[in-house]
Amino acid sequence: MNKNLIIKSLFSCLIFSFLFMELSFAHSHPSLLLTKQGVNEIKSSMGKISDFDNSVNELKIIADKALKSEIVVPIPVNEGGGYTHEKHKNNYYEMNAAGTMYQITGKKEYAEFVRKMLLKYSELYTTLGLHPSKRSDTPGKIFWQLLNDCVWLFHTALAYDCVYDYLNTTDKAYIEKNLFRPMAEFISNGSQANYAVFNKMHNHATWATASVGMIGYVMGDKNLVEQALYGSNKDKKSGFIHQLDVLFSPDGYYTEGPYYQRYAIWPFMVFAQVIQNNQPELNIFSYRDSILLKATNTLIQCAYNGEFFYLNDALKKNYKTQEIVYAVDIAYKNNPENTFLLDIAQQQKSFIVSDAGIATAKSLHNIKYEPFEFHSVFLRDGANGDAGGLGIIRAGKKDKTQMCLTFKATSHGLSHGHYDKLSISMYDGGNFVLPDYGAVRFLNIEPKSGGNYAKENHSWAAQTIAHNTVTVDETSNFKGNIKISSNHHSDIQYYDFKNNKIQIISGCETNAYKNVKMQRTVAVLENKTFSYPIVVDIYRNVSDSTHTYDLPFYYRGQMVSVNFQYQKFTAQLNPLGTKNGYQHLWVDAFGKNEKPVTHFTWVDGNRFYTISTTGNSNTEYLMTRTGADDPNFNLRNETAFMIRQPNVKNQTFVSIIEPHGFYDENKEITENFETSIKNVEILTDNEEYSAVKISTVTNNSFLLITRNKDFNNDSEHLLDINNQTVRFKGNYYFTELTK
Amino acid sequence: MNKNLIIKSLFSCLIFSFLFMELSFAHSHPSLLLTKQGVNEIKSSMGKISDFDNSVNELKIIADKALKSEIVVPIPVNEGGGYTHEKHKNNYYEMNAAGTMYQITGKKEYAEFVRKMLLKYSELYTTLGLHPSKRSDTPGKIFWQLLNDCVWLFHTALAYDCVYDYLNTTDKAYIEKNLFRPMAEFISNGSQANYAVFNKMHNHATWATASVGMIGYVMGDKNLVEQALYGSNKDKKSGFIHQLDVLFSPDGYYTEGPYYQRYAIWPFMVFAQVIQNNQPELNIFSYRDSILLKATNTLIQCAYNGEFFYLNDALKKNYKTQEIVYAVDIAYKNNPENTFLLDIAQQQKSFIVSDAGIATAKSLHNIKYEPFEFHSVFLRDGANGDAGGLGIIRAGKKDKTQMCLTFKATSHGLSHGHYDKLSISMYDGGNFVLPDYGAVRFLNIEPKSGGNYAKENHSWAAQTIAHNTVTVDETSNFKGNIKISSNHHSDIQYYDFKNNKIQIISGCETNAYKNVKMQRTVAVLENKTFSYPIVVDIYRNVSDSTHTYDLPFYYRGQMVSVNFQYQKFTAQLNPLGTKNGYQHLWVDAFGKNEKPVTHFTWVDGNRFYTISTTGNSNTEYLMTRTGADDPNFNLRNETAFMIRQPNVKNQTFVSIIEPHGFYDENKEITENFETSIKNVEILTDNEEYSAVKISTVTNNSFLLITRNKDFNNDSEHLLDINNQTVRFKGNYYFTELTK
| Cβ-defined contact of B633 to A568 (cutoff 8 Å) | yes
Q: What is the pLDDT of residue A18?
A: 43
Of B738 and B416, the structure prediction assigns the larger pLDDT to: B416
pLDDT tops 80 at residue A158: yes
Cβ of B545 under 8 Å from any chain A Cβ?
no
| Cβ-defined contact of B558 to A315 (cutoff 8 Å) | no
Q: What is the pLDDT of residue A8?
A: 54
| Cβ-defined contact of A573 to B575 (cutoff 8 Å) | no
Q: How many other C-beta atoms are found inside a 10 Å radius of the C-beta of residue A728?
A: 16
| Cβ-defined contact of A444 to B81 (cutoff 8 Å) | no
Q: What is the pLDDT of residue B25?
A: 36
Q: What is the 3-state secondary structure (H, E, C) of A400-452?
A: CCCEEEEEEECECCHHHCCCCCCEEEEEECCEEEECCCCCCECCCCCCCHHHC
Between CA B259 and CA B324 the distance in angstroms is 11
Q: What is the pLDDT of residue A568?
A: 97
Cβ of B447 under 8 Å from any chain A Cβ?
yes
Each residue of A297-341: pLDDT tens digit?
999 999 999 999 999 999 999 999 999 999 999 999 999 999 999
Q: Are B611 and B597 spatial neighbours (Cβ–Cβ below 8 Å)? A: no
Between CA B490 and CA B423 the distance in angstroms is 11
Between CA A382 and CA A388 the distance in angstroms is 7
pLDDT band at A722 (very low <50, low <70, confident <90, very high): confident
Q: How many CA atoms lie within 13 A of A116 on its CB side?
A: 15
For the stretch A153-190, what's the b/e string if a residue is b when 16 or more beta carbons lie within 10 angstroms of its beta carbon? bbbbbbbbbbbbebbeeeebebbbebbbbbbbebbbeb
Q: Are B437 and B460 spatial neighbours (Cβ–Cβ below 8 Å)? A: yes
Q: What is the pLDDT of residue B312?
A: 97
pLDDT band at A7 (very low <50, low <70, confident <90, very high): low
Topology of the domain comprising A377-737: Beta-galactosidase; Chain A, domain 5 (2.70.98)
Nearest-10 Cα torsion for B666, A404, A375, A288: 50
Interface test mutation site (partner B, options A621, A623, A666, A676, max chain B beta carbons within 10 A): A666
Angle, vertex CA B422, rays to CA B421 and CA B423, nearest 5: 95
Each residue of A71-129: pLDDT tens digit?
999 999 999 889 999 999 999 999 999 999 999 999 999 999 999 999 999 999 999 99
Q: Of A16-25, A700-709, B82-91, which gets the smallest average pLDDT?
A: A16-25
Phi, psi torsion values for B407, nearest 5 degrees: -130, 115
DSSP A597: E
pLDDT band at A159 (very low <50, low <70, confident <90, very high): very high
Angle, vertex CA A272, rays to CA A271 and CA A274, nearest 5: 60
Q: What is the pLDDT of residue A38?
A: 97
Q: How close does chain B come to A724, measured CA to CA in Å?
A: 37
Q: B447 to chain A: which residues are within 8 Å by CB?
A: 560-561, 601, 673
Q: Which of A416, A488, A599, A717 is catalytic?
A: A416
| Cβ-defined contact of A633 to B568 (cutoff 8 Å) | yes
Cβ of B557 under 8 Å from any chain A Cβ?
no
Give the closest of A317, A442, A586 to B573, CB-based.
A586
Q: How close does chain A come to B560, measured CA to CA in Å?
A: 6
Q: B636 to chain A: which residues are within 8 Å by CB?
A: 558
pLDDT tops 70 at residue A15: no
Peptide bond into A30 cis (omega under 30): yes
| Cβ-defined contact of A636 to B574 (cutoff 8 Å) | no
Task: Tell me the Ramachandran region of residue B347: left when phi exceeds 0, alpha when psi lies from -120 to 50, beta otherwise.
Answer: alpha
Interface test mutation site (partner A, options B665, B667, B697, max chain A beta carbons within 10 A): B665
Q: What is the pLDDT of residue A602?
A: 98
Between CA A620 and CA B696 the distance in angstroms is 56
pLDDT tops 60 at residue B16: no
Each residue of A184-204: pLDDT tens digit?
999 999 999 999 999 999 999
Of B480 and B22, the structure prediction assigns the larger pLDDT to: B480
| Cβ-defined contact of A442 to B669 (cutoff 8 Å) | no
Q: How close does chain B come to A719, measured CA to CA in Å?
A: 42
Q: What is the pLDDT of residue B722?
A: 80
Q: What is the pLDDT of residue A739?
A: 57
Each residue of B531-584: pLDDT tens digit?
999 999 999 999 999 999 999 999 999 999 999 999 999 999 999 999 999 999
pLDDT tops 60 at residue B420: yes
Q: What is the pLDDT of residue A723?
A: 84
| Cβ-defined contact of B574 to A571 (cutoff 8 Å) | yes
pLDDT band at B723 (very low <50, low <70, confident <90, very high): confident
Taking a contact as any Cβ pair under 8 Å apart, which residues of chain B between 608 and 667 contact chain A?
Answer: 623, 625, 627-633, 636-637, 663, 665-667
Cβ of B65 under 8 Å from any chain A Cβ?
no
Give the closest of A321, A669, A671 to B666, CB-based.
A321
Q: Which of A260, A319, A453, A732 is catalytic?
A: A260
Taking a contact as any Cβ pair under 8 Å apart, which residues of chain B between 315 and 354 contact chain A?
Answer: 315-318, 320-322
Q: Of A172-181, A572-581, B79-88, B355-364, which gets the smallest average pLDDT?
A: B79-88
Q: What is the pLDDT of residue B651?
A: 98
pLDDT tops 50 at residue B13: no
Chain A's closest residue to B90, CA to CA, is: A669
Of B21 and B408, the structure prediction assigns the larger pLDDT to: B408
Q: How close does chain A come to B628, measured CA to CA in Å?
A: 5
Please list the alpha-helical segments (H only) found in A472-536. Answer: 482-485
Terminal Cα-to-Cα distance of chain A (whole angstroms): 83
| Cβ-defined contact of B568 to A631 (cutoff 8 Å) | yes
Q: Domain B70-246 has what CATH class? A: mainly alpha
Q: How close does chain B come to A550, measured CA to CA in Å?
A: 21
Q: How close does chain B come to A96, measured CA to CA in Å?
A: 17
Cβ of B451 under 8 Å from any chain A Cβ?
yes
DSSP B700: -
Give, in order, the Cα–Cα distances in Å from A558 to each of A393, A433, A467, B451.
26, 12, 19, 14
Residue partners of A425: CB distance under 8 A and separation at least 6? A309, A310, A311, A405, A406, A408, A432, A434, A435, A436, A468
Q: Report the complex ipTM.
A: 0.93
Between CA B196 and CA B307 the distance in angstroms is 33
Q: What is the pLDDT of residue A3?
A: 54
Phi, psi torsion values for B191, nearest 5 degrees: -160, 170
Tell me the one-letter amino acid at A594.
Answer: E
Give the closest of B81, B559, B623 to A673, CB-based.
B81
Between CA B119 and CA B171 the distance in angstroms is 8
Peptide bond into B30 cis (omega under 30): yes
- Quick one: average pLDDT of A706-713? 97
Between CA B541 and CA B643 the distance in angstroms is 14
pLDDT band at B510 (very low <50, low <70, confident <90, very high): very high
Q: What is the pLDDT of residue B66?
A: 97
| Cβ-defined contact of B601 to A447 (cutoff 8 Å) | yes
A-B CB pairs within 8 A amount to 135
Q: What is the pLDDT of residue A4?
A: 56
Each residue of A485-495: pLDDT tens digit?
999 999 999 99
pLDDT tops 90 at residue A27: no
pLDDT band at B8 (very low <50, low <70, confident <90, very high): low
For the stretch A592-615, what's the b/e string if a residue is b when 16 or more beta carbons lie within 10 angstroms of its beta carbon? bbeeebbbbbbbbbbbbbbbbbbb
pLDDT band at B20 (very low <50, low <70, confident <90, very high): very low
pLDDT band at A13 (very low <50, low <70, confident <90, very high): very low
Taking a contact as any Cβ pair under 8 Å apart, which residues of chain A between 567 and 596 contact chain B?
Answer: 568, 570-575, 583, 586, 588-589
Q: What is the pLDDT of residue A81?
A: 86
- Quick one: average pLDDT of B705-712? 97
Q: What is the pLDDT of residue A415?
A: 92
Chain B's closest residue to A316, CA to CA, is: B666
Cβ of B169 under 8 Å from any chain A Cβ?
no
Between CA B144 and CA B446 the distance in angstroms is 11
Each residue of B41-58: pLDDT tens digit?
999 999 999 999 999 999
Q: What is the 3-state secondary structure (H, E, C) of A601-624?
A: EEEECCEEEEEEEECCCCCEEEEE
Chain A's closest residue to B319, CA to CA, is: A666
- Strand pairing partners for B705? B691, B733
**Burial (CB count <10 Å: 0-12, 13-18, 19+), residue A425:** buried
Q: How large a percentage of chain A has pLDDT more than 70?
A: 96
Interface test mutation site (partner A, options B449, B673, B675, max chain A beta carbons within 10 A): B673
Each residue of B590-645: pLDDT tens digit?
999 999 999 999 999 999 999 999 999 999 999 999 999 999 999 999 999 999 99
